[in-house]
Amino acid sequence: MTQPTFAPFIDGESWQDAGPADFTVTNPATGESLGQETECDRAAVGKIVASSQSAFQQRPWQKMSAAERGGLLLRLADLMEQQSEAIVETELLDTGKPISQLRAGELPLTAAIIRFYAGAADKVEGSIKSGTPGEVLMQMYEPYGVVAGILPWNYPFVNAALKVAPAIATGNAIVLKPAQETPLGTLAFAKLCVEAGIPPGIVNVVLGSGSVTGQALIEHPDVRKISFTGSTAVGQHIQKSAADQMKMVNLECGGKNAMIVFADADLDRAAEAALLSGFVNAGQLCVSCSRVLVESSIAAEFEAMLTERAQKIVLGNPRNESTQVGPMITRSQYDIALSYLSEATSDCNVLCGGSTADIPSPCNDGYWIQPTLLSGVRPGMKVHDEEIFGPVLSVVRFKDEQEAVSIANSVNYGLSGSVWTKDGSRGLRVSKALDTGICWLNTMLTGYPQISLSPHKLSGTGVELGMEGMLAYLKRKSIVIGIDDDAPVGWGLG
């Protein structure tokens, strides 16, 4: 049977002859081929960016009010909910995520992000500054024009919303580039945008590899801002590539985040939070707290709690409602995670997991790794210092508050953290001491989309989410108005 070709999206339509289709898109749960994906070369990227630039400059888009743009986003959120089962099916094929996670978590979060920015669209305020009696000083915001949204493969729909919603709310046009392994969700999202009434060309999609398509997109002179979510190495490359044209760059990159559990914490809730953070989406989550730092006096007890519960996690066919953990989404990340495990098992204690998982047909050829708990992990080990991006949770012991903060901050990343204690003063003190963009105190993975995320250290630059995340899609302008016709304006040569 002939398989489909996944083509880029331009002016509200699929562009079937954009280029060669020689990359196979695979269902990670089964290993089956879903079809072939087109790769956009530099000329194809140029045509798609030109489409977005033209759509941005069109009078209807320029004259549309912020409230009207917000109304389009509200329709987009409504459409997502009306077509939720079709979207779930797309994501099942694209990412292999458990159907329960998609229905109860990812789709509601995506809609919430869109609705947040729909409501925020007309809430951007400029300001009047104090000046001389003969002048009025104004500061305001303007859209960049065409922005690029470069997406990771772990949460295609959520990340598309994270970039499209604030871009549209602020009046930009956007070209999305999904990860080559997961194009289906982004293409479906772009089609929903047009169906919601967003003018064709305002949301376009390029397809292909990072080295060819992505590079052409970030170097295109009409792309004035780049928002990227992905690995630190690629983020560093994008920042360097964008420097020559002085483009604004927003990067959310890697994380090696720590959850700190003190002896007085509610250990039952902390254990549940640790397992959710470490194993949701098979650990393929940048803000996941994959290091669990536990006070020595309760470490043995807490490790036993984690082990008992981790062994009950249901791994398997993502179409089963009872499944809690699905496959690794890409073959390359599957291999990377296994290489970390192979090295770690010789230096650490494996409390559970530690290898590949055998899943019955039709999932027997998927990318499956057992949820893994490691103890005896110490700073300096690769499994402690480097991001694995897989279902691996490392337990590290500490003796006091000072050592806990030192260990948590010892890595090169600073994306998120979590602190668990019943001592309110200590909780706030340690939360402030962590060098991270977000910290959860006695909770985990909550606060979205209202709370902003500002990565620290090698975790990135700029800000996403919250009102600050929307302002990141606007450039600032100051205007000085002279209102005193008798004020001198030059040398008086006339």
Task: List the catalytic residues.
Answer: 252, 286
Convert 296-328 to b/e letters by CB count within 10 Å (16 or more is b).
eebbeebbebbbebbeebebbbbbeeebbbbbb
Distance CA 96, CA 330 (A): 10
By C-alpha distance, which of 211, 205, 178, 180 is closest to 192?
A: 205
Distance CA 238, CA 243 (A): 9
Structure token digits, residue 81: 């909910």
Structure token digits, residue 208: 């292909």
Structure token digits, residue 250: 């927003």
Report residue 19: phi and psi, to 5°. 170, -175
Distance CA 316, CA 29 (A): 9
- Residues 6+ positions from 429 with CB-CB distance below 8 Å: 401
Burial environment of residue 181 by CB neighbours within 10 A (0 to 12, 13 to 18, 19 or more): buried
CA dihedral 36, 167, 117, 236 (to 10 degrees): 80
**Residue 128 CB neighbours (<10 A):** 9
Find where tokens 């300001």 sit: 127
Find where tokens 């928002």 sit: 227
**Residue 340 CB neighbours (<10 A):** 18
Distance CA 473, CA 463 (A): 10
Q: At what angle do helices 156-169 and 107-120 cross, to 10 degrees?
A: 10
Helix (H, G, I), strand (E, B) or coil at 250: strand
CA dihedral 69, 72, 78, 80 (to 10 degrees): -100
Q: Are 69 and 173 in contact (CB under 8 A)?
A: no
- Residues 6+ positions from 238 with CB-CB distance below 8 Å: 150, 218, 226, 228, 249, 251
Q: At what angle do helices 267-279 and 296-310 cross, to 10 degrees?
A: 60
Which residues are 394's β-sheet partners? 291, 374
Q: Are 462 and 249 in contact (CB under 8 A)?
A: yes
